[in-house]
Structure 1
Amino acid sequence: MLLGIILALIGGSLVGVQNMFNQKVNEKAGGWSTTALVLGMGFAASLVMGLFFEGRELFSFGSMQPWFWFSGLLGVGVVTCMVQGVKRLGATYGVAIAMASQLICALWWDSAGWFGLEQVPFTLQKGLGVLALIGGIIVFKLGGRAVQTRSSQSYSAGGTVKAES
Structure 2
Amino acid sequence: MWYFYGFVLLAGIANAIQPGMNGALAKNLPQPLVAGLVVGAGTVLSILTVGLISGRLSLPSYEQATQIPWWAWFGGVLGGGIVITQLLIARQIGAAPFLGVLVTAGVATSIALDHFGWVGFEQHPATLWRILGGLLMIVGVAVVAMT
TM-score normalised to the size of structure 2? 0.86
Partner of 2:5: 5
Contact 1:39 1:75 in 2 (8 A): no
Report the Cα offset of residue 115 of structure 1: 1.0
* Higher CA-based Rg: 1
Runs of 4 or more, structure 1, over 3 Å off, are 60-63
Q: TM-score, normalised by structure 1?
A: 0.77
Q: What residue identity is the alignment partner of 1:32?
A: L
Instruction: State the distance in 1 between where 2:86 and 2:101 align.
Output: 10
Q: Distance in 2 between matches of 1:44 and 1:10?
A: 19
Would the aligned equivalents of 2:96 and 2:144 in 1 still touch at CA under 8 Å? no
Residue number in structure 2 paired with 1:19: 19
Supply the distance in 2 between the matched residues of 1:2 and 1:49 (Cα, whole angstroms).
Answer: 21
Q: What is the identity percentage for the equivalent residue pairs of Structure 1 and Structure 2?
A: 25
| CA RMSD of superposed structures (Å) | 1.7
| Residue of 80, 84, 102 corresponding to 1:80 | 84
Residues 135-150 of structure 1 correspond to what in structure 2 (within 5 A)? 135-142=139-146, 144=147
* 8 Å contact kept, 1:22–1:38: yes
Matched, 1:40 2:44: no
Partner SS, residue 57 of structure 2: helix
